[in-house]
């Protein structure tokens, strides 16, 4: 495997309400020999929210972030579907429009930044599926996830719109499921894996947001899933942290553990549930871990 080194953009949620993701990604990187240089002074990507109100502000903030990675001569790594989608869009625009880039550089230039459009931004999922590769992952597995049935939950921003997100077909992605197979688990395909978790409208229409999360969780559960796995911490917030409320609202028992992709991969590579802070999840992960003999 070639040496992989990234300018690492952890994003707000992995430093806030999903710190277990921050720790797990560090462990996956260590176990696979991926070097991460954290962008400690990066700002929030704007999560698609800032750009709605002020496009130039969002692009300027992200040009500054991209310029930091560029000055290190490294591609950027994210582990959040939303951060990835936002960066992919901003980066495409800045790369394809030199005039607009110059305008934005003028704004970030006050503090000595300039983005030349040479940085690529990659999600951890893509790095695992492509740069590391499923064959190499398979070779590195020390704790096969045998007997586990897993459902993926991709997160909208990682798949759509396909005019920007070109890693895989938005209707037929398989990178998550390919990784499950490589780790020894059995993937379950279900329509909800491509849908919205409901997080973006949790403040605007809580009930609709819960119906979205609940619909996807119950669908996965109904197909016999032992856990749902997501490459997006925002999805994790709605699917795990709010799952008791979702279940209460729908008057249905759910109890489906939701893992971060990093946690799942690290487990198969030999990390302990304690290191991966599995006990921090709102939905109890012990039945899932028991299946692995942990």
Q: Catalog residues that contact other proteins under the rule CB under 8 A.
A: 12-13, 15-20, 40-44, 46-50, 52-54, 56-57, 60-61, 64, 107-108, 110-111, 113, 156-157, 159-162, 169-172, 174, 191, 194-196, 198, 200-201, 203-209, 211-212, 215, 241-242, 244-245, 277, 279-282
Q: Which residues of 221-252 are buried (b: 16+ CB within 10 A; e: fewer)?
A: beeebbbbbbbbbbbbbbbbbbbebbbebbee
For residues 174 and 152, give the distance between their C-alpha atoms in angstroms, rounded to a whole number: 9
Closest approach, Cβ 277 to other proteins, in A, equals 8
For residues 5 and 14, give the distance between their C-alpha atoms in angstroms, rounded to a whole number: 20
Nearer CB in complex with other proteins: 85/268: 85
- Given a contact cutoff of 8 angstroms between Cβ atoms, the answer to whether 75 and 120 are in contact is yes
Nearer CB in complex with other proteins: 234/268: 234
Closest approach, Cβ 147 to other proteins, in A, equals 26
Contacts of 121 (CB under 8 A, 6+ apart): 9, 66, 69, 75, 76, 77, 78, 84, 87, 88, 91
Nearer CB in complex with other proteins: 252/270: 252
Query: How many Cα atoms within 13 Å fall on the side-chain side of residue 160?
Result: 9
Residue with tokens 């992605």: 173
Nearer CB in complex with other proteins: 142/223: 223
Closest approach, Cβ 108 to other proteins, in A, equals 6
Nearer CB in complex with other proteins: 50/267: 50
Nearer CB in complex with other proteins: 46/117: 46
Nearer CB in complex with other proteins: 3/163: 163
As a whole number of Å, the end-to-end CA separation of the chain is 30
Closest approach, Cβ 3 to other proteins, in A, equals 29
Closest approach, Cβ 252 to other proteins, in A, equals 15
Q: How far is CA 9 from CA 111, 138, 143, 158, in A?
A: 20, 26, 28, 16
Nearer CB in complex with other proteins: 145/200: 200
Segment holding 204, helix H or strand E: none
Q: How far is CA 170 from CA 9, 74, 149, 186, in A?
A: 24, 27, 23, 21
Closest approach, Cβ 50 to other proteins, in A, equals 6
Closest approach, Cβ 251 to other proteins, in A, equals 16
Query: How many Cα atoms within 13 Å fall on the side-chain side of residue 99?
Result: 0
């Amino acid at each position: 495997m070639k040496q992989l080194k990234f300018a690492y953009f952890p994003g707000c949620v992995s430093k806030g309400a999903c710190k277990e993701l921050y720790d797990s990604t560090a462990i996956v990187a260590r176990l696979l020999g991926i070097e991460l240089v954290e962008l400690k002074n990066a700002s929030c990507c704007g999560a698609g929210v800032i750009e709605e109100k002020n496009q130039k502000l969002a692009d300027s903030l992200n040009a500054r972030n991209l310029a930091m990675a560029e000055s290190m001569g490294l591609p950027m790594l994210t582990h959040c579907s939303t951060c990835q989608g936002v960066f992919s869009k901003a980066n495409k625009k800045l790369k394809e429009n030199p005039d607009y880039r110059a305008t934005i550089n003028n704004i970030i230039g006050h503090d000595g930044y300039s983005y030349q459009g040479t940085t690529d931004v990659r999600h951890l999922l893509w790095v695992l599926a492509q740069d590391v590769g499923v064959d190499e992952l398979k070779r590195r597995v020390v704790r096969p996830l045998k007997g586990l049935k897993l459902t993926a939950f991709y997160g909208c921003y990682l798949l759509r719109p396909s005019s920007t997100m070109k890693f895989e077909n938005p209707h037929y992605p398989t990178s998550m499921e390919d990784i499950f197979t490589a780790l020894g688990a059995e993937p379950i395909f279900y329509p909800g894996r491509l849908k919205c978790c409901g997080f973006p409208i949790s403040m605007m229409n809580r009930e609709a947001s819960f119906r979205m999360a609940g619909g996807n969780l119950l669908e996965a559960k109904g197909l016999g899933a032992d856990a749902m796995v997501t490459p997006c911490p925002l999805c994790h917030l709605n699917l795990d942290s709010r799952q008791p409320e979702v279940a209460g609202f729908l008057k249905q028992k759910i109890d489906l553990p939701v893992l971060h992709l990093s946690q799942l991969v690290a487990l198969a590579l030999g990390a302990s549930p304690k290191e991966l802070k599995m006990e921090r999840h709102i939905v109890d992960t012990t039945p899932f871990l028991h299946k692995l003999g942990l």
